[in-house]
Amino acid sequence: MAQIMIAPSKYMQGPGAIREVGPHVAALGKNAVILGSKSGFASVQEDLEKALADAGVKFHYERFMGECSRKEIDRVNAVVKAHGGDVVLAVGGGKCIDAGKAVAHENKIPVVVVPTIASTDAPCSALAVTYTDDHVFESYYVLPQNPNLVVVDTEVIARCPARFLVSGMGDALATWFEADACRKSGAKNLPGGDSTEAALALAHLCYDLLMRFGRQAKAAAEMHAATPAMNVIVEANTLLSGLGFESSGLAGAHAVHDGFTALHECHHLYHGEKVAFGTLTQLVLENREMEEIEEVLDFCTDVGLPVTLAEMGVTATGKELDDKIMMVATSVSGMINNEPCNACVDNIAASIKGADALGRAYFARTGKKPAKFEGDH
């Protein structure tokens, strides 16, 4: 089997990057459909509209309705056809971006991705994760190519609540461990080949940068300051994590995340927050060294990622808790089969319990306070 590595055609990152985007979009199309969340589009609207107008690109704005579902993709497909769109701009968070990528593919036109938060590694990938209209994981929609252009304006990212950046770190935290699992098991990456040494190195670099700069970046995000540390973590969350997971593979962390979408009490959590607990579960499932687990526990509790079921919103006890854990274990996605160990339902359920026990013991031992995750997104 050949080694395969894929990546977006062009990646731009830096303060004010939105103001420079016009000529790059014009090279792809002259009649854009902008799919954007209300708040995401508002954060870039003035600069983006001016950049497009100056480059001679016409545009129609269509509000994203909140879920990357089959229904939403079909709705926006009709909008693109009605307006004769020849390029899609997906502006917002991960679900909006995934919907935009799917729409562009189904209309056979280019896509420009403009993340307004650094909360997932969705921007760079040739993948869309679809959900039901009730927010339950449905499928991985593998696309034939990566985005034509990814534009990350760190001034925009810095204005967002710190929780978004931290969620992105939770998503990126899984990249190296899942890449390593796929390497050990011989699992194929998302384009269907073996990983390259370059992709594995990028996945490991992603983890290394999180450990070195993640805490500083969170502090900067809380002050809405686009510091060098934040710039590094935005790149780790967006580019390195995207390249690493796609060209090396997904495994237990994301599979467990998908299982947790079956629990209503976890719907308030961001993607990366669930992935972080999935990463801890994967480490338990693989019986990794306690030194590695401790490093993950230290990091997660320092930046504010969940390491217990209670933090995830799962507060049931006794048989009710066992039933909920079994629901998660039986709802994991097929990526669990990329694990280099026996990932049967019983072992997954036991590993979820084990991860929770490690998290609770960590809090008891260190005196740190559990993180709180409130509100709906």
> Which residue in 105, 194, 254, 258 is the catalytic one?
254
What Cα–Cα distance (Å) separates residue 200 from each residue in 51, 127, 295, 316?
A: 37, 19, 20, 39
Q: Give the DSSP letter string of 310-358.
A: HHHT----HHHHHHHHHHHHHH--GGGGGSSS---HHHHHHHHHHHHHH
- Closest by CA to 34, choosing from 11, 18, 13, is 18
- Closest by CA to 218, choosing from 198, 232, 239, is 232
Is 271 a known active-site residue?
yes
Cα dihedral across residues 332, 66, 210, 153: positive or negative = positive
Is 377 a known active-site residue?
no
Which tokens hold the place of 330?
């039986």
> Which residue in 171, 180, 258, 356 is the catalytic one?
171
Which tokens hold the place of 231?
């710039």
> For residue 240, what is the DSSP state?
I
- Closest by CA to 7, choosing from 119, 108, 127, is 127
Q: Which residues are catalytic?
A: 171, 254, 257, 271
